[in-house]
Structures are given as C-alpha cells and as structure tokens.
Structure 1
Amino acid sequence: MKIIRYSIDENWHYGILRSGGDIERLKRSPLDGLQVAGYIDRLASVRVLSPFYRPRVFGLGYNYRAHSQEVGKNTPTLPVLFMKPSTTVIGHEEGIVYPSDGENIHFEGELTVIIGKEARNVSESDALDHVFGYTCGNDVSDRILQRRESEFGCLLVGKGYDTFAPIGPVVETELDPSNLHLITRVNGEVRQNGNTADLVYGVPALIAYLSKYMTLLPGDHIMTGTPAGVGPIKPGDTIEVEIEGIGVLRNKVITQAGATP
C-alpha cells in the first residue's frame, strides 16, 4: 500500500494512492490508522509533500562497503550515526537549495525507513514490526564542512542545511527491505546502482541498535546509508532517486534566494 501526503485547495491531507492515480483521502495521520474520509482526489491535481512534516531524521554513514572503499574508509564495526535537523526535510519536486557559499555539495540516494510504532530495546527479530513503511531519500551533504567537522569527531551542519533531506514521494507499507534495487540519476545519467542486500547493517539491525539507546517514535526516519557513486551537484541539476517497489523521488537544485547564480 502506498501512502502519500499532499496538498490541494490550500489544505493538506494523507491518502492511499491507488493504481491509476486515484488518492483515497484519509481522516487522519496514517500512524493513527487508515480510516478513509470518503473523498477521492486525483494525483495529477495535487502537490505531493514530504511523507511527514518535520520528522526526526537519523542518518547512517559508511553503511555500504563499496561506498566506504570509494571514500577511503574501513568498513565500520558499529553503525555510524548522525542526525539531520527536521528542517532539512523537503518533498518530491521541491528545490534543493544550493548554499551561497557552497563549494562541494553531494547527492546520496538512500532507502529511508519510517517508524510506525514506538520502539525501545527491540530485538532484530521483532524490529520490522515497528516499521510503518519505506520511502526514498537523498542525504545531501556539504563535503567541505563535513570533513572539517569530522576532524573533531562531530557531524551536523555539513548534513544539516535546510532542504538537505528530500524524502518521498510515497511510503510503501508492504515491502521487504533486504533486497531492493536503488538507482540515483543526475540529469538522467545513472550515478548510483546499488542494492540494499549490500548494507553492512540491515534495517532490523539498525532499529535494534538505535532502540537500545533511545526510544524510537512513530514518524521517525532512518536514512540507511548510500551505495557507491556519490558525487557533486550544482544549481540546475535534477536528481532522481529510484527504489524498487517505491517509485522515483525527483528534486532540482536551485540557487539560494539573493545569491549570485
């Protein structure tokens, strides 16, 4: 089942996206149940929004061996975690704002997990019971700031600009995350071609690990890491992250308001 958040007539709603483009509107957040409201909207007539408004976002570094190799890092012996501010999150077809002082901004296509049920001290065998669904994500990163921060053992602003976490377009609730094909394109050219079977730490392991130390809440996002092939983007570029069974997340890179193109 594909869940979508969208706006129409200056109001926003959740809905179930049916094949053919019909959206069956829901009464409330899908995290509170899937009661339908009795209205049908057409996908062609709405604006798609990020699946949830300003969620907590957990990120993973070096969670594909090939990506670790391309950046000269060893395979991690525990999940390498960071957080992205909730204000980084944007939706399908929204603009990724290129910082006015940006020099080396990269895309990172990723499978993103949406938590559906509170999780604390969850075992790997029970972890997927706490998942609401899965969507596409792009962990946009300022490499220069990221490296400067990493020298001192921290990571925030290099991942934390507003608009640096495109998420969407839909949440697929019925999916096996262990073997999904992921492709990232820049201006139509394939740059990443990976599979979640190659994750160092799969979705159950990540949920179990995180929930050992903190309570995961409904609506939390876990961006599971990026395959090899990351690279720079610039204003005017269009980035597409496509994941098997979910769809295509598309965003254009735009200049910051007031910046010189």
Structure 2
Amino acid sequence: MAKWVRFTHQGKTAFGTLDGDSITVHSGDMFDGATPTGETVALSSVSLLAPTEPTKIIAMWNNFHALAAKLQVAEPAEPLFLLKSISSVTTPGAVVRKPKGYEGPVVFEGELGIIIGKTATRISEEEAAAHIFGYTCVNDITAAAIITRDPTFPQWARAKGYDGFGPFGPVIATDVKPETLVVKTVLNGQERQNYPIADMIFPAAKLVSLLSHDMTLNPGDLIECGTSVGVGSMKEPVNTVEIMIEGIGTLTNTVEL
C-alpha cells in the first residue's frame, strides 16, 4: 500500500508518498509513471493540500442499505448523484465557515472517496479496478435548509457546493479493499458515525463502471460514495470534525458556524 499526498514546501507544490512522519518526494504524474526524486521531507515541515485537483466531484445519494431503511425510501435501481463545485475543495485541517446570510443547519457527512487514476469511458465493472487509483476520506458538508428552500427545485448542488464544503484527504491510499473498510465520524470528540462500506448499494467497482457510462471520468476525479446512518448537524460555534477510515487515515477540519 502507498499513501499519496500533495503539499507545499518552501513555496513550491509537490507530491509524494507518506511513510510515518516522512514524505518521499516524487516527480512526473502521480497517476502515470511517478518516480522518486531521492528527496525526502518531514511531514511537520509541509502544508498538506487536497491530494488531487479533480476535474469534477460526483457525490452519491442513497447508496447504503441501512440509511435507505432508516429513511424508509426505496433503494435506487441506478446511482443517484449530483456534481459538487470544484471551489468546494479545501485542504485537510482548513477552517470551513458557514456561508454568510445562511442561518440553517450545517450537516457533516463522513464518506469514503474513490480517486480515479485512469481515464474511464463506458468501462465494465471488471475493468473498473484498473481505473481506480485509490481511496480517501471525505466530509461532504451540507447547508441542509437550502435543499428544500424552493419547493419547485431541490438545490442539492448549491447546498453542498459552497466554498470549503468539500474537504477530502489527507492521503490517497492505494491497494485497499474498500469492502473491508469502516467509516467513523467524530464530532467534537464524540463518535457520531460508524458504518461499514460493505453495506453500499453500489460497490466501488460497479459505481465507477456505471458512472463512466454517464460521463468520462478523468485521473484525479473524486467520487464521494455517499454516507450512512448517523449524519447530523453541528451545534457549537466552533466544531472539530474527524473522518476516520482505518487503513486510510483521518481527515480533520474545523467548522465555524
């Protein structure tokens, strides 16, 4: 397994593999023939960035059996999704602020993210594994009251697309079996979510295949797999949200209301 990161160091943006507290710097293309430069830097000396610069972020809705049962909604026959704005991306550790003028609840959603590593257009489920670069942690933050503000048009993209509402990272872990993973969300020191990825309605490979029939998936693109039970709103003026996936890492951000 490798854990890939992007970072800034001494004014320059770079990428490499994380091993404990040290980063092995690479050159070239993370997704196609990256090679070590021979340089290592201390994790403590860098500022981590989101691990990719996606051309698009695809966010799933209703992709877990347990949540569909809790909401008493039918399980979908095909993936239900929205596109999040690229400007929603922020760095691990960043402070996310509630939009000015918005007074409704701000919701956390701990999720597994799929990072595409190879251009995928109309691929089969069997081909999907070769197009997945790795997996990451996601907090799909939502201004929940926006969704139903206008009764004629559910505003999912707006509710989830505010600046900073799409933190992911801090690493991309390769050679991971997603069906073995468990997502935990800890809000202000209290565990709020703990659910298995094995409960997904559309598993990772099938999801990538189906989405590739709707649009071309590019290297670095992020697919947010959706969340399960336990989502909720943040109440404190300053909130610490940790998305933990053993085998990948922990994404931590502060959300100010």
Normalising by structure 1, we get a TM-score of 0.92
Q: What is the distance in 1 between the residues matched to 2:150 and 2:201?
A: 24
Query: Alignment RMSD, CA only?
Result: 1.6
Q: Deviations over 1:89-122 (max 9, x none)?
A: 1121011221221311100000000000011111
User: Is the alpha carbon distance of 1:151 and 1:67 closer, same or farther for their aligned partners in structure 2, counting shifts above 3 Å?
Assistant: farther
Partner of 1:197: 198
Moved more, 163-172 or 173-182: 173-182
Please give the secondary structure, in 1, of the residue aligned with 2:205: helix
User: Is the alpha carbon distance of 1:34 and 1:118 closer, same or farther for their aligned partners in structure 2, counting shifts above 3 Å?
Assistant: same
Correspondence for 1:243 among 232, 242, 245 = 245
Q: CA deviation at 1:87?
A: 0.6
Partner of 1:5: 6
Please give the secondary structure, in 1, of the residue aligned with 2:243: strand
Partner of 1:32: 32
Which structure 2 residues correspond to residues 46-195 of structure 1 after superposition, within 5 A?
46-100=46-100, 101-148=102-149, 151-152=152-153, 155-195=156-196
Q: What is the distance in 1 between the residues matched to 2:198 and 2:180?
A: 5
Q: CA deviation at 1:214?
A: 1.4
Q: Deviations over 1:114-139 (max 9, x none)?
A: 00001111111111110111100011
Moved more, 108-117 or 145-154: 145-154
User: Is the alpha carbon distance of 1:228 and 1:149 closer, same or farther for their aligned partners in structure 2, counting shifts above 3 Å?
Assistant: farther
Partner of 1:259: none
Q: What is the distance in 2 between the residues matched to 1:150 and 1:221?
A: 30
Q: CA deviation at 1:29?
A: 3.2
**2:231 aligned with 1:208:** no
* Contact 1:149 1:158 (8 Å CA) reproduced: no
* Contact 1:92 1:249 (8 Å CA) reproduced: yes
Please give the secondary structure, in 2, of the residue aligned with 1:164: coil
Deviation beyond 6 Å, 4+ runs, structure 1: none
The one-letter code matched in structure 2 to 1:63 is: N
Q: What is the distance in 1 between the residues matched to 2:150 and 2:37?
A: 47
Structure 1: give runs of 5+ residues left out of the alignment.
Answer: 256-261
Q: What is the distance in 1 between the residues matched to 2:46 and 2:34?
A: 20
* Contact 2:148 2:154 (8 Å CA) reproduced: no
Aligned residues: 254
Q: CA deviation at 1:65?
A: 2.2
The one-letter code matched in structure 1 to 2:77 is: T
Q: What is the distance in 1 between the residues matched to 2:93 and 2:139?
A: 12
User: Is the alpha carbon distance of 1:159 and 1:179 closer, same or farther for their aligned partners in structure 2, counting shifts above 3 Å?
Assistant: same
Q: Deviations over 1:191-214 (max 9, x none)?
A: 000010000111111111111121
Please give the secondary structure, in 2, of the residue aligned with 1:205: helix
The one-letter code matched in structure 2 to 1:161 is: Y
Normalising by structure 2, we get a TM-score of 0.94
Q: What is the distance in 2 between the residues matched to 1:228 and 1:106?
A: 13
Q: Deviations over 1:153-201 (max 9, x none)?
A: 5531011101011100100011011221110000110000001000011
Structure 2: give runs of 5+ residues left out of the alignment.
Answer: none
User: Is the alpha carbon distance of 1:38 and 1:150 closer, same or farther for their aligned partners in structure 2, counting shifts above 3 Å?
Assistant: farther
